Amino acid sequence: MIDLADVGVELGGTPILADVSLSVDEGEFLALVGPNGAGKTTLLRTCNGLLEPSTGRVTVAGADVTGLSARELGRRVATVPQETSLAFEFDVEDVVAMGRTPHRSRFATVTAADREAVAAALERTETARFAGRSVDVLSGGERQRVVLARALAQEAPVLLLDEPTSSLDVNHQVRTLSMARELADEGKTVVAAIHDLELAARFCDSVALLSDGRLLEYGPPEEVLTAEHLEVAFDVRVAVTTNPVTGTRAVTPLSDVPPGDRRVHVLGGGERAARTIGRLVDAGVEVTAGIVPEGDVAVATARSVAVEVVTAPPFGHPSADRLEAAADLVRMADVTIVAGPVHDGDGGDAGDPGGGGGSRAGSGTVSGAGEPADIGPDADGERTPSSVGTPNGDLAQLGDDLLVLEGLERPRGVEARTVADRELVVAVSEFDFEQEHEPESESEPAESTTARSPAVDSVASQPTEGDR
């Protein structure tokens, strides 16, 4: 439907677009993404004939846009510009009716088809209740929806949208792009400049990534919206993961802190491990992770930003080579973080003298539904974690390598606990949970303690000699 071949645009002698080539099919929803000044608006204005390319050619339904009259072009392409101000105080219904201009002569009377098109556009954009109001009394978001209704009334096979959600609140952002998605499904070709990368990934069939007037990448969202491509285009570090609700790309910008000379290994999985990995990378720390079950939410985060990730099939015991790979990463790390509590051999949390009760609801343990990690005595008779449960309940025997350097400057977002005179750094959680201890004797009152929020009590307080 739309074809651009080696398109270049200059404004005032300044190159704005250079060598842009792409094709948008009938029924396709294309997102134009990129930093400010990348050329997104210029590309749209070239497609609707407002700007003439300096080089190359733009065609719509096989016709060169530079050779079409305004009326002919209006029957092919409808546009919703970024700026929605109007020069006169028209009523909303009159503004929407302007979309019918390409379909009738200057002095022609309004037809039944015109009235039906206007009514349908008002209804679809949820602006029918504004029909009799002046556009000047509407909010910016309401006015933008009116301009969208005008474009729909135009009934053109191509719809161009320049930042269609910029003035809208969250619910209307989703509704507007859902409507654009529906229009594409009905056969209309939709091209939209969108700043929100996650919305682009969620609603669009394809993405064109622009930077400095050039087309860097073009294709499905999952192929274009990668950390590597986005870092080049936006000049910022990002983590690209999968939204657990929509199943589409989620993009999180990170700080510009460059990776330092510290390496941290993260054990565990789930949202807690994902948050921990993200915080460490954001603080400029080099991160490795694993063992993590394939499909775990932490896998997508780790693969996006971690140096190395060890994974294993879920619901099964990790193979010897996976365990050894994880153990190697632990040995190479300056600090190992446990993203969840370590359990003692009786099934209770380390530091829970009651023991035997297994993990408490809401504690977010690493061991999950499987056996608790063993806490065995070391050479000095101290109880130290000798293994850590993977999120699917299997045990990764990592030995004393889990206990790591003492006195290391800790990254932002984590805290340390000392076990057997060595430091074990544990990950941050974002919820509280209570650990109630049984009284030692009838003379001692029951004591209820709440783990320090937001730290996970993974090895909270090791039992004293009197507790054992």
Report which of residues 188 and 429 the model is more confident about. 188
Q: What is the pLDDT of residues 392-413, one digit of tens each?
A: 333 233 333 333 323 334 444 4
Q: What is the pLDDT of residues 227-281, one digit of tens each?
A: 899 999 999 888 888 887 898 999 988 877 666 677 888 887 888 788 888 888 8
Domain hosting 62: range is: 2-244
Do 299 and 437 fall within a single domain? yes
Q: Give domain status of residue 258, yes or no.
A: no
**DSSP reduced 3-state for 265:** strand
Do 136 and 189 fall within a single domain? yes
Q: Give domain status of residue 351, yes or no.
A: yes
262: left (phi over 0), alpha (psi -120 to 50) or beta: beta
Lowest mean pLDDT among 280-294, 329-343, 369-383: 369-383
Do 215 and 105 fall within a single domain? yes
Q: Give domain status of residue 463, yes or no.
A: no
Confidence of residue 87 (pLDDT cuts 50, 70, 90): low
pLDDT at site 426: 44
Domains: count for the chain: 2
User: Residue 328 and residue 319: Cα distance in Å, rounded?
Assistant: 14
**Nearest alpha carbon to residue 196 among 254, 250, 142:** 250
Do 204 and 308 fall within a single domain? no
Do 424 and 338 fall within a single domain? yes
Do 402 and 326 fall within a single domain? yes
- Percent residues over pLDDT 70 in the chain: 71
For the residues 192-219, what does the mean pLDDT come to?
A: 96
Do 19 and 115 fall within a single domain? yes
- Percent residues over pLDDT 90 in the chain: 42
For the residues 114-126, what does the mean pLDDT come to?
A: 94
User: Of the residues 244, 271, 292, which one is the last residue of a structural domain?
Assistant: 244
Q: Give domain status of residue 458, yes or no.
A: no
Confidence of residue 142 (pLDDT cuts 50, 70, 90): confident
Do 339 and 386 fall within a single domain? yes
Do 177 and 267 fall within a single domain? no
Contact 187, 61 (CB under 8 A): no
Do 108 and 170 fall within a single domain? yes
SS (H, E, C) 401-451: HHCECCCCCCCCCCEEEEECCEEEEECECCCCCEEEECCCCCCCCCEEEEC
Q: Give domain status of residue 255, yes or no.
A: no
pLDDT at site 259: 66
CATH code where residue 39 lies? 3.40.50.300
Q: Give domain status of residue 457, yes or no.
A: no
Lowest mean pLDDT among 115-124, 197-206, 318-327: 318-327
Q: What is the CA radius of gyration of the chain?
A: 30
Q: Give the pTM.
A: 0.70
pLDDT beyond 60 at 368: no
Structure tokens at 266: 């993260």
Do 134 and 164 fall within a single domain? yes
